[in-house]
């Protein structure tokens, strides 16, 4: 009998989010392949799990994946976990899963917390269609290309960024997509100091330049208005204004977003929002 590779989602911060199935899996496997063994050891200790820990991260070489596949072929069940959230979503693991499948080994997903889903669900921005781009390149042509693609996207965009680079990213996005583009910063999701801050890219860039953020950051950006969209009617504009206000946008930020989305004059947008 060969072992099974379990792809296990772990809490973003609140241990109460770990599912009973995930807990049972981590207690039952012989080996846990972890991005950071120190952080995962804390979780295993909390669960009373006694699995052997192996390091498996973004810089692990092919030999480490081969060693884990050998364990599976020898009959050992292995759980793949990341520091927090769902493995392979902007985290290592895809190559290991592909290698296991190529050898005919069983792969079972134990779903659970995801910063992408959590940020989208709390943002108030459309989530029926979205693009996730992970971390952007830090500089150069690749970064400019990504910024341009985000600016042109007609669907919501979700990305990750380090707290100390958030203000610079927001400024770059404001320059590429316009200061009035709506966005939401989701910070420290599920943790004690969880924060959702909605506004325009310009407003958020200014705020986080003056208030240095801490912790894990997920950024959700509103999509651009379709270039060929038919002229919106008053009912559609009012519905969007109401949705923005309900999502936590200030009246000023909501008016700016309406003006950018529907091509309204700023004064007309302010008047419409003020009438709600």
- What pTM was computed for the model? 0.80
Q: Enumerate long-range contacts of 21-30, CB under 8 Å, 24 or more apart.
A: 21/110, 22/110, 22/112, 23/47, 25/79, 25/110, 26/51, 26/79, 26/81, 27/51, 28/77, 29/76, 29/77, 29/78, 29/79, 30/3, 30/71, 30/76, 30/77, 30/78
Dump pLDDT digits (tens) for 55-70: 999 888 889 999 999 9
Domain 4-113 sits in CATH at 3.40.1010.10
Domain 114-224 sits in CATH at 3.30.950.10
Dump pLDDT digits (tens) for 249-258: 999 988 988 8
**pLDDT at site 106:** 97
**pLDDT at site 167:** 97
Residue 50, Cβ density class (10 Å: 0-12 exposed, 13-18 middle, ≥19 buried)? exposed
**DSSP state, 128?**
S
Output phi, psi for 122, to 5 deg. Answer: -100, 0
Which are the contacts of 182, defined by CB distance < 8 A and separation ≥ 6? 125, 198, 199, 200, 201, 221, 222, 244, 249, 253, 257
Listed range (49-58, 97-106, 137-146, 225-234) with the worst mean pLDDT: 225-234
Listed range (42-46, 85-89, 231-235) with the worst mean pLDDT: 231-235
Whether pLDDT at 225 is above 90 = no
**pLDDT at site 38:** 94
């Amino acid at each position: 009998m060969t072992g099974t590779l379990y792809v296990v989602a772990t809490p973003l911060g609140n241990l109460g989010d770990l599912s009973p199935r995930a807990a049972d899996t981590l207690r039952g496997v012989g080996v846990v392949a972890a991005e950071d063994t120190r952080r995962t050891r804390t979780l295993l200790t909390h669960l009373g799990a006694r699995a052997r820990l192996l390091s498996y991260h973004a810089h692990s070489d092919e030999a480490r994946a081969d060693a884990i596949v050998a364990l599976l072929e020898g009959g050992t069940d292995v759980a793949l976990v990341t520091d927090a959230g769902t493995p392979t979503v902007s985290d290592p693991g895809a190559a290991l899963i592909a290698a296991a499948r190529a050898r005919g080994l069983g792969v079972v997903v134990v779903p659970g917390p995801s910063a992408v889903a959590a940020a989208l669900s709390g943002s108030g921005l459309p989530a029926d269609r979205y693009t996730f781009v992970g971390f952007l390149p830090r500089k150069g042509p690749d970064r400019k290309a990504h910024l341009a693609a985000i600016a042109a996207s007609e669907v919501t965009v979700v990305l990750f960024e380090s707290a100390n680079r958030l203000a610079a990213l927001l400024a770059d996005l404001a320059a590429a997509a316009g200061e009035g583009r709506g966005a939401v910063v989701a910070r420290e999701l599920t943790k004690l100091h969880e924060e959702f801050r909605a506004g325009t890219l310009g407003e958020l860039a200014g705020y986080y330049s003056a208030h240095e953020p801490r912790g894990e950051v997920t950024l959700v950006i509103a999509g651009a208005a379709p270039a060929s969209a038919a002229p919106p009617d008053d009912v559609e504009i009012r519905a969007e204004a109401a949705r923005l206000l309900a999502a936590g946008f200030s009246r000023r930020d909501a008016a700016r977003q309406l003006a950018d989305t529907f091509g309204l004059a700023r004064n007309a947008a302010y008047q419409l929002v003020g009438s709600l």
